[in-house]
Structure 1
Amino acid sequence: MNVFARIFTGLLLVLSVTTYATDDQAAAQLRKQLDAMNTLQGDFVQTTYDKAGVEQESSSGNFMLMRPGKFYWKTLEPMPQLLVSNNKTIWLYDPDLETVNIREFTDDLRETPALLLSADIEQLRKNFSVARDQQDGSAEKYTLTPKVTEGMFQHLILVFKSGQLSEFAIQDSLGQLTRCVLSNVQRNNALPEENFFFVPPEGVEILRD
């Protein structure tokens, strides 16, 4: 994009009217967005910032999600790691440490906010206050704030562009922000069930929570 196009685009964004939906309207609209997404797959870049906005670390990889409660989150760079859930069990495999941490699946969104993308979204109104911020015709930002403050995060932000989930971010109780930008996203493709089950390799140490 040339300089003129960047300036013109920026001007349009500045002049665009920002609108906010009420909590029930926002939750209903978010539910509509998520209901259209039975499966999701693509690539991600995950970046963590401290409370001052300074980048701390970055990683990248690929993912698959299937509602309800099934996900495959594979970090490739800089350190390989794999997180898998089949809606009953969660496996965290660290090939460098040769360990697999296994724990029972929980549908408590306060503890595992990323499950929002694959869980029963009827829990939205129960667990969160939802605000919707629409700044142009194609981008929508939803900010979810837990109604119970003992959770691990303060805010969860979901951004949709042209109806497609493009990024999400989590701000924890210490002000640290983790932002995941998605790319090459494909929605509602058939995904094999075996992708959401993990068999630990021989010789690895198995840890159970």
Structure 2
Amino acid sequence: MKYMLTRLTPCAMTIFISMLLVTVPCNAAQSLDAQTAKIVSGIEAKYANKSFIADFEQASRLTALDVTEIAKGRAWFSHPGKMKWVYDSSDNHEIITNGKNLWIYRPEENQVMIGDAAPFFQSGSGGAFLADIHKIRKEFTVEPGKSGKNFAQLVLTPKKETPELAKIRITVNLPGYEIPVVETENIYGDITKFIFTNIQFSTFDEQIFEFTPLPGTEIIEMD
């Protein structure tokens, strides 16, 4: 029996799936000003083809309902498009993708939702830009945002807007080029903000991006 993802998840997860994992078709490369180009090149050098782990705090705001949900956890990223998000909030769950398959596991409910990542990534092996940093240059128009002595902000606008993703704002630490803050916004004004701490670039067993349900786990297929 198949269910739509949005019918089975709370608003925070719905925003997360639709806004963080979405990608858009590629268009011609943008000509960047010198400072913006330097920052983009810096984060590409920092993140491209790298694996990293970070703690995160997520604030998901539904504007129409005036509701904000807070969650915390730990996340793993690897190129291309591999991610694992483990939430330790009251809504305990894991989101895992190897870039092709997607699993959403709720251990307390002994339930896992399984689906093809392609409908959510809108490409066969695409992923969030943190797991494939070159997507910034390929798929977004990049403009400078707020800046200071030790940080800069980039505003990313999809070259083809979708209802799920209208804009991404990322904060870049200087001169290290780490990205501690990612804020995504859809066309309805719903905003999801991620704050990443304890960022560690290192290798690890990439089997964590695979998931095998234990015997007796309820399996739900996603459309």
Output aligned runs, 1:12-161, within 5 Å. 24-25=32-33, 26=36, 29-37=39-47, 38-51=50-63, 56-106=68-118, 115-119=128-132, 121=134, 123-133=135-145, 135-161=147-173
Q: Tell me the TM-score normalised to structure 2 length.
A: 0.73
How many residues align structurally?
186
Where does residue 3 of structure 1 map in the other structure?
none
Letter in 2 for 1:74: V
Q: CA separation of 1:175/1:159 partners in 2, compared to 1, >3 Å: closer, same or farther?
A: same
Asked if residue 193 in structure 1 is aligned to residue 197 in structure 2, the reply is: no
Q: Distance in 1 between matches of 2:136 and 2:88?
A: 31
Where does residue 7 of structure 2 map in the other structure?
none
Displacement of 1:31 after TM fit? 4.4
Q: Distance in 2 between matches of 1:131 and 1:195?
A: 35
User: 3-state SS of the aligned residue for 2:63?
Assistant: coil
Q: Which shifted more, 94-103 or 164-173?
A: 94-103
Q: Distance in 1 between matches of 2:137 and 2:173?
A: 23
Q: Distance in 1 between matches of 2:122 and 2:42?
A: 21
Displacement of 1:192 after TM fit? 0.8
User: 3-state SS of the aligned residue for 1:165?
Assistant: coil
Q: CA separation of 1:54/1:23 partners in 2, compared to 1, >3 Å: closer, same or farther?
A: farther
Q: CA separation of 1:142/1:108 partners in 2, compared to 1, >3 Å: closer, same or farther?
A: farther
Q: Distance in 1 between matches of 2:100 and 2:72?
A: 26
Identity of aligned residues (%): 21
Q: CA separation of 1:131/1:53 partners in 2, compared to 1, >3 Å: closer, same or farther?
A: farther
In terms of fraction of residues, the more strand-rich structure is 1
Task: Tell me if the contact between 1:109 and 1:116 (Cα under 8 Å) persists in the aligned partners.
Answer: no
User: For each residue in 1:52-87, what CA deviation from the matched residue of structure 2 results, as whole angstroms up to 9, or x when unmatched?
Assistant: 895511000001101111111100112111011112
RMSD value, Cα: 2.8
Structure 1 runs of 4+ aligned residues shifted over 6 Å read none
Task: Tell me if the contact between 1:144 and 1:155 (Cα under 8 Å) persists in the aligned partners.
Answer: yes
User: For each residue in 1:136-158, what CA deviation from the matched residue of structure 2 results, as whole angstroms up to 9, or x when unmatched?
Assistant: 12211111111212341111111
User: 3-state SS of the aligned residue for 2:207?
Assistant: helix
User: For each residue in 1:100-125, what CA deviation from the matched residue of structure 2 results, as whole angstroms up to 9, or x when unmatched?
Assistant: 112223397679x971111261x434
Q: Tell me the TM-score normalised to structure 1 length.
A: 0.77
Task: Tell me if the contact between 2:144 and 2:155 (Cα under 8 Å) persists in the aligned partners.
Answer: yes
User: 3-state SS of the aligned residue for 2:128?
Assistant: helix
